[in-house]
Chain A
Amino acid sequence: GAGVSQSPSNKVTEKGKDVELRCDPISGHTALYWYRQSLGQGLEFLIYFQGNSAPDKSGLPSDRFSAERTGGSVSTLTIQRTQQEDSAVYLCASSLDSWLGNTIYFGEGSWLTVV
C-alpha cells in the first residue's frame, strides 16, 4: 500500500481480555517497529523486526506483550490479559532497512482503551 496501515483504528476492550493489533508495512520495507504512545506523552519503543533477524524485544513492558511478523511483512502485536495501564495509541512504523538514514514512516495508530 501507499503507507503503513494499521487495524483496528480504535479498540475498546474489557480488562483481562486479549487484543491483537495488526500492522501492514509499506511494501518492500524490511524493518518494522512498534511504539506505544500514552496520552500527551512521547513514543515508547516496544519491539523492532529487521528482515530474518531475531527481533529486538527490549522495549516490551511485560510478558503479556508479544509480537510476530509473518513472511517478513504483516505484523501482529498481541496484548494478553489487558490492564487499564495498557490504554494507549499503538503505532507501527516501517523503513527500507535498518541502515542509518532510512526514513521511518509511521501509521495512524491503533487507539486501545481498556475499561
Chain B
Amino acid sequence: GESVGLHLPTLSVQEGDNSIINCAYSNSASDYFIWYKQESGKGPQFIIDIRSNMDKRQGQRVTVLLNKTVKHLSLQIAATQPGDSAVYFCAEKRPGGGNKLTFGTGTQLKVEL
C-alpha cells in the first residue's frame, strides 16, 4: 500500500554540525507535508510544514525541502544542538482525507557532544 517512509532509522551527528533527515512518500497527490519532533515520553511537536506548491520553506534553524519529482522530503537542522535529539517524523495529508495525517516510522536523531 501507499506509505510515508524514512530512509534512515538513526542519524548521529556532532553538536554544531548540520543534520539532514530524509523522507520518501509514495502518494503523488499529497498536497501538504509536516515535520514533527517527538522527545522521549512526549507527544509529537510541530516543527515546520510545507505545501505542495512550494519546494522550500525556512524556519528558525530548520529548512524543509520538497522534491515532488522524486517524491522526497527533507528536514535540515542547522547547528544541531543536544536539545535536538529526538525522533523526527514526516507526515502527509492526502486530498479527500480531511486533515488526517499519514505518518512515517520516524528517524532517531542523536547529537553527540
* Known contacts A33-B100, A48-B100: A107-B49 contact under CB 8 Å: no
Interface code B95-111, partner A: CB below 8 Å = 1, 0 otherwise? 00011111111100000
* Known contacts A101-B49, A103-B49: A109-B99 contact under CB 8 Å: no
Chain A contacts of B103 at CB under 8 A? 35, 42-44
| Interface residue ranges of A36-73 to B (CB < 8 Å) | 41-45, 48, 50, 56
Chain B contacts of A99 at CB under 8 A? 99
**Which one of B14-22, B37-45, B67-75, B78-86 is at the A interface?**
B37-45
Q: Which residues of A contact B (CB under 8 A)?
A: 4, 31, 33, 35, 41-45, 48, 50, 56, 91, 93, 95, 97-109
* Contact status B104-A42, CB under 8 Å: yes
26 contacts between A and B (CB under 8 A): A4-B43, A31-B98, A42-B89, A42-B106, A43-B44, A43-B101, A45-B100, A48-B100, A50-B98, A56-B98, A91-B43, A95-B99, A97-B99, A98-B98, A100-B51, A100-B99, A101-B32, A101-B49, A101-B51, A103-B34, A103-B49, A104-B34, A106-B44, A108-B42, A109-B42, A109-B43
Partner of B93, one of A4, A93, A100: A100
* Contact status B101-A45, CB under 8 Å: yes
Whole-angstrom CA separation of A33 from B91 in the bound complex = 14
Q: Which residues of B contact A (CB under 8 A)?
A: 31-32, 34, 36, 41-46, 49, 51, 89, 91, 93, 98-106
Chain A contacts of B101 at CB under 8 A? 33, 43, 45, 104
Chain B contacts of A104 at CB under 8 A? 34, 46, 99, 101
B8: min CB distance to chain A, Å: 14
A40: min CB distance to chain B, Å: 8
Chain A contacts of B34 at CB under 8 A? 103-104
Whole-angstrom CA separation of A42 from B91 in the bound complex = 10
* Contact status A105-B99, CB under 8 Å: no
Chain A contacts of B49 at CB under 8 A? 101, 103
